[in-house]
Amino acid sequence: MNAFDTRAWSAPTPDRHGIYVICAAVVVAVAAAPALGLSSFLQSLVIEILVFSILSMSLNLLMGYTGLVSFGHAAFFAVAGYGAAIAAIRLSPEVLVTFPIGIAASSLLAVLVGWLSIRLSGFYFLMITFTFAQMIYVAAVGWKQWTGGSDGLIIPGPKLLGHPVLQSREAFYYAVLAAFVACCIVMYGIVMSPFGRALVGIRERAPRMRALGYNVRRHKLAIFFAAATLAGVAGVLNAQFNLFIAPESAHWTQSAIILVMVLIGGSNFFVGPIVGTAIVLLLQYWLSSYTEYWGLVLGLLFIALITGAREGLIGIAVDGWKTLQRRNP
């Protein structure tokens, strides 16, 4: 078989049997946790991990599978949140209005940014996505009439057909869990499809894929759009959970932390961003309870993890498992 036939390449995912078993067990455990007495604080923490896992996994569609390192992914996260917030304030707090508008806002932005960005690659792609994200941040600060400026926006509680919904922590917990599972299924379907395998080919040898007849630009634009739309889902969920949105959600530091989440978990593995997100957020909460300089400690830990584990923590685990299998055939 031709080395550049995308059917010969597997997308960067762990063993299928292992991922099915582990993911099913984790979902069951997370779903059962509130019934077993999980506190409101821990429920909030799990919600945050699930929301940001969707965001980091959407970034990994660009990084791990297409080789496009974006430094402005938070722009779509923020625009979706602002779209939902403005719709709730100026139109209606109905979730059938706010959710579609928020996600559509991130998708429309993706068409514009993607059409311009995918013409570039490497460092230039990274910088143009960073530039667009900073433009969104400046707009969020400057357009006070619409965005509330640096004070942000307070969002009315969500409703469904005129009745309040998702008011309790537990109800929102299960809604986010359902959204997380749905997004994981969608993303897994993408990366395991012929389209996803073509993305891996583009990541490895874009000129060869172009010579084989693949429309590389169209593939990149499609995955850019999909990643931004999924980031929009996370943005709407985050805004609805906090009932607040501020310009900091579009700042470059937000994009940087998402990038770190992907790298720590392992961009070459489907579940890597989930693991990285959980570790980053858990460390953040744990360290902040011990020292006011938790940001410095967290940064040093990130540097150590990234430099010492370039394949991420999942990569270390997979290598360790393969070593054990070789020693104990």
Residue 12 clears pLDDT 80, i.e. is over it: no
State the average pLDDT for the chain. Answer: 85
User: What are the structure tokens assigned to 18, written together?
Assistant: 């292992």
**Is residue 220 within 8 Å of 202, Cβ to Cβ?**
yes
Contacts with 82 (C-beta within 8 Å, 6 or more apart), sequence order: 102, 105, 140, 146, 147, 153, 239, 245
Q: Would you say residue 145 lies in a domain? A: yes
**What whole-number distance in Å separates Cα of residue 21 and Cα of residue 40?**
28
Q: Would you say residue 301 lies in a domain? A: no
Nearest to 199 by CA among 207, 208, 191, 187: 191
Q: Would you say residue 192 lies in a domain? A: yes
Written as one string, the DSSP assignment of 171-192 is: HHHHHHHHHHHHHHHHHHHHHH
**pTM of the predicted model, to two decimals?**
0.89
Q: Are strands 153-154 and 244-245 parallel, antiparallel or unpaired?
A: antiparallel
Q: Would you say residue 269 lies in a domain? A: no
**Is residue 178 within 8 Å of 221, Cβ to Cβ?**
no
Q: Would you say residue 60 lies in a domain? A: yes
Q: Where in the sequence is the domain holding 156, given as residue range(s)?
A: 17-249
Mean pLDDT, residues 87-108 taken together? 93
| Residue with the larger pLDDT of the pair 177 and 9 | 177
Label residue 328 by pLDDT band (50, 70, 90): low
Kind and range of the H or E run holding 164: strand 163-164
Q: Would you say residue 146 lies in a domain? A: yes
Residue 178 clears pLDDT 60, i.e. is over it: yes
Q: Would you say residue 329 lies in a domain? A: no
Q: Would you say residue 295 lies in a domain? A: no
Give how many domains the chain has, as a whole number: 1
